[in-house]
Structure 1
Amino acid sequence: MLEAAKAVFITSGVDAPAKEIADLAGVGVGTLYRHFPQRSDLVKAVFQREVDACVAAGPALSANHAPGTALTEWIDRYTEFLATKRGLATALHSGDPALEALPAYFMERVGPTLGALLDAAAASGEIRADVTPRDLLLAVAGLCAPVDHEGAAFSRRMVAFLMDGLRYGAVPPEPRG
């Protein structure tokens, strides 16, 4: 149901009919409401699921890739998350008390993960060391803001330019020994 809600939120917004979400999930509307009695319950669950998936990707990427590659792939994942958030943005900024804790949840969870990726990439000399998690999160979010007549490919290209810029001024680690 969460995957269906995410897809519907992206295409139709968070106010899409519950039937549209239920149909895509292959369940009845009653089942959807039993799990998520309020629309805000569903929005919150989709948002937290996406944040948690983004956070979980950090250590997995670090374990399987060089630091710079892990950071770049994580930023790609974050860029995809922002596409989902576009569908949620109206709800997140609606003033609904049930959703007001979500921005803090995001920063508390994502900040340390991105910080570890940035630290590793800077220590390896693959990126400059003067960027903070908040700097990068806000820069990528700004580059992913909707632009008239441009789609997700445009945002991904702009983020790639940003990532290339992080390599400028990188200081290689001192040789040992």
Structure 2
Amino acid sequence: MNTPRLRADAAENRARIVEVARAAVASSDELKLNAIAKQAGVGQGTLYRHFPTREDLLAEVYRHDVEELVAAAPALLVEHDPVTALAHWFDRVADYARVKRGVFAAVEVGVWQDLSARSLGPIGDAMTALLDAGKAAGAIRPDIDARDVILLIGYLTRLDEEEWDTRARHLLHVVLDGLRSRE
């Protein structure tokens, strides 16, 4: 969805609102719009002008995280060898999954199904780029595809909040070890 071009101050307000909401979703199950507006330094009218409903705000938080995750893949491939790039991308996946879990817990079933369906394509494409680079370098198993990895990392949604910090990244590194070529 393309957002209409905003004045600079309106764009800054919108970005602050999304960042504050993202932090709230990542740190708790509760998202109170008046608290988000206050923390973002905007009035409730400004928040509701940008996001008429709670679901609109949560959907934007989710879309923003998907865009950042997808954009990270090619940038990481420029900076690192394919396996290191994939490892760094998995670190970002852990952050993304924590927010995704919070967003999905907070929105209605129909909204999260739509969000999930629209994100799998771009995330799968980013994953494919990372895997293909690793395969070309001989570092990733040739029999692995993006769907395999997405199914494997789906366990992140089942982690309890109290074990997230100790298990999420550790388990992603276990998955990464399983993707490595053994030749």
Classify the TM-score, shorter chain. Answer: 0.7 to 0.9
Q: Which amino acid aligns with 2:28?
A: S
TM-score between the two structures when normalised by the length of structure 1 = 0.85
How far off its partner does 1:27 sit?
Answer: 1.4
Unaligned runs of 5+ in 2: 1-16
How far off its partner does 1:143 sit?
Answer: 4.2
Could you tell me how far apart the structure 2 residues matched to 1:148 and 1:51 are? 21
How far off its partner does 1:90 sit?
Answer: 1.7
* Larger fraction in helix: 2
Partner residue in 1 for 2:103: 88
Partner residue in 1 for 2:175: 162
Q: Which amino acid aligns with 1:22?
A: A
Partner residue in 2 for 1:56: 71
Q: What's the CA shift string for 1:132-177, capped at 9, x where partnerless? A: 112112212314532374232321111111211222x444xxxxxx
Q: Which amino acid aligns with 1:36?
A: F
Q: Secondary structure at the match of 2:141?
A: coil
| Cα RMSD after superposing both structures | 1.8
Would the aligned equivalents of 1:122 and 1:170 in 2 still touch at CA under 8 Å? Answer: no
1:9-158 counterparts in 2 under 5 A? 9-13=25-29, 15-91=30-106, 94-96=108-110, 98-143=111-156, 145-147=158-160, 149-158=162-171
How far off its partner does 1:100 sit?
Answer: 3.8
Matched length: 167
Would the aligned equivalents of 2:25 and 2:103 in 1 still touch at CA under 8 Å? Answer: yes
Unaligned runs of 5+ in 1: 172-177
Could you tell me how far apart the structure 1 residues matched to 2:92 and 2:162 are? 23
